[in-house]
Structure 1
């Protein structure tokens, strides 16, 4: 009786094993199909973002050519007056990190934050940071959150204007932090596939007034110097924001192009895996049908 029961149970076990194998094959096919569909959707998004970034880059490059005279004129003032910080006074430094609120553009924002981190590693007691864009704040707040003076948000969604730069310059000069010297850290556009993290020096009002060659610009009182410093700071911030916007769009265009190519390679691999798995499932099912038909004859 025991042998007879075993004989009866054996075909049922084989049938259950075959059914489990079929279910596993179908589950694998379904998983690969879902992954393939997901990667194809991602590729469509990256291709669309590349096209949008290409259009924005063309506009940003045109705007940058018009904004460069603002930066060059402001830099020449500091160069010709040969401003040097007072070594006897306690230095108070200020870093203005020019980034944006948007990502998916390679290491554009990371490079700015890395340069500031390197400067802050040596001395950060009397140093403050003004973040233009939320990306720099997110990176620098981990180590130097207490040194962040203020953050300017809503940067990068629209092309930067001189009004935006004027508002930032006004906030920098009215924070109550009397800095003696500082730097604007930004990305300088070089070509479609290249940019360089650069700095521009800035100086506070008392430091500028002590310059010996300030008389080159005729007699200037403190009110005139203060007004000009606000205008020159706004000009430098406007120029660096334009440089950063152009670098960001070109980097995003390159990043999205690379992402689209990677998605295409992944789609080819998943398609090949899907076809091989599907062929294996069909072959196994045919073998089971033939084996079952042969067992009945």
Structure 2
């Protein structure tokens, strides 16, 4: 697949979500939540100056349209009511009693139930160890689920009710029961590929492989590479890139991919991030 549209000049885009024709995402290292209608200017909808978190993560919506934003560093789930200058930010749920390390991504069901993952360990200085998703009910009640996962990241719900979760530092995608109490299946990926964000495309799973700089389609036991990000060629951000999230438009099938420097320390300082839209016209590369 080839990139057709690009939004550049970002820090570290993550948590891509299509909603009403726009791509919503967290620019994690720039402390802002952004809405982008392709081929128009991007709009910042939440930032530090308006009550947003220093490092926003997963995004989702409650049935009434209020936005949920993971506050990664303070380990909270924030609720944003309204838009623009009139938006009000409140704490929907405090996750700190369960998370000793940063919170991360989430999935929100149609009824407003959120499923939130966290780091579970310090990737810079500790050996990987398991943690569990937190279930956050629409009223903000938090319950720990029952399945051990290694750095749970992107999470989506299949049409059969199962939860699909990327485990970044276990190099696998796991399929969980509807309440995340048990593991039903797992898809093992190449060592060091780093599955990060994911999306569902019919019966297939699309997964962003952060450390392999690729987006892959998982179909049964088959793995196809749909897209591979080229290294950043020049400038202060030059070097290897990573693919960190992927989102599929619900009706026209456009695929949004989040890309930034593979060196997160560099990405904190330099705007290496971009979002590309992929065309389905080309055949996928294996």
Give the TM-score band, short-chain normalised: under 0.3
TM-score normalized by structure 1? 0.23
Larger Rg: 1
Q: Which has the higher helix share?
A: 1
- TM-score using structure 2 length: 0.24
More strand by share: 2
